[in-house]
A and B are shown apart, each in its own frame.
Chain A
Amino acid sequence: AQSVTQLDSHVSVSEGTPVLLRCNYSSSYSPSLFWYVQHPNKGLQLLLKYTSAATLVKGINGFEAEFKKSETSFHLTKPSAHMSDAAEYFCVVSDDLNYQLIWGAGTKLIIKP
């Protein structure tokens, strides 16, 4: 069965410093993985997706993630945090057998001025 674990419920960084949001996955086959962002009172937005092409995936707003099969990880990073990055971030794996997305519990990113 597919599952994802987001290792931190909250991450707090200062503006201008790097961001690391951690995600581990479990999958019985080669997974498709996604990161979504949810700003308050706004819809979920896709940041980036991994679909068995390049292991380093670049997304919008300067975010990127690296797929590491040996570590079953798909961590999200950004070199320099901006105040507008404050939001909830979700790591997601696709369960193609059941036509659904499996979501992590989310990581709330807090940006300190």
Chain B
Amino acid sequence: ETGVTQSPTHLIKTRGQQVTLRCSSQSGHNTVSWYQQALGQGPQFIFQYYREEENGRGNFPPRFSGLQFPNYSSELNVNALELDDSALYLCASRTGTSGSYNEQFFGPGTRLTVL
């Protein structure tokens, strides 16, 4: 069974650029969530996709957008990058939509640095 994978592992961008981060969910999982973890803080929920539709969103502006594909892999897109977007971006997959009873499995993350 393959776990959650993310690419790339590290990325350096400049302010104003756009970035796309990728996530492959664990086999059999149909729900993907994305989190932003700034240095020294806990993860912050960005949004969740269930069967290719966004069904939950945290307090992030519209320049953070995403996609989920028929194979349940996912992309996180960030436009007009700002310095504060520098963080570890985590992807997690699970079955179903509720966080209560189904464990989320996390990928190792993508470290984004915005200069």
Contacts and interface: CB of A to CB of B under 8 A. Distances in A.
Interface of A: 32, 41-46, 49, 51, 90, 94-96, 98-106
A34 to B, nearest CB: 8
Interface string B75-115: 00000000000000010100001111101101111000000
Interface in B19-70: 33, 35, 40-45, 48, 50, 55-56, 58
Contacts of A32: 99-101
Contacts of A90: 42-43
B98 A94 contact: yes
- What bracket does the count of chain B residues touching chain A fall in? 20 to 34
Given A99-B55, A99-B56, A99-B97, A43 B41 contact: no
Interface of B: 3-4, 33, 35, 40-45, 48, 50, 55-56, 58, 90, 92, 97-101, 103-104, 106-109
Nearest to B31: A99
A48 to B, nearest CB: 10
Contacts of A49: 103
Given A99-B55, A99-B97, 15 more contacts: A43-B3, A43-B4, A43-B109, A44-B43, A46-B103, A49-B103, A94-B98, A99-B98, A100-B45, A100-B48, A101-B33, A101-B43, A103-B44, A105-B41, A106-B40
Contact of A96 (B35, B44, B100): B100
Contact of A100 (B4, B33, B90, B106): B33
A32 to B, nearest CB: 4
Contact of B90 (A44, A46, A98): A44
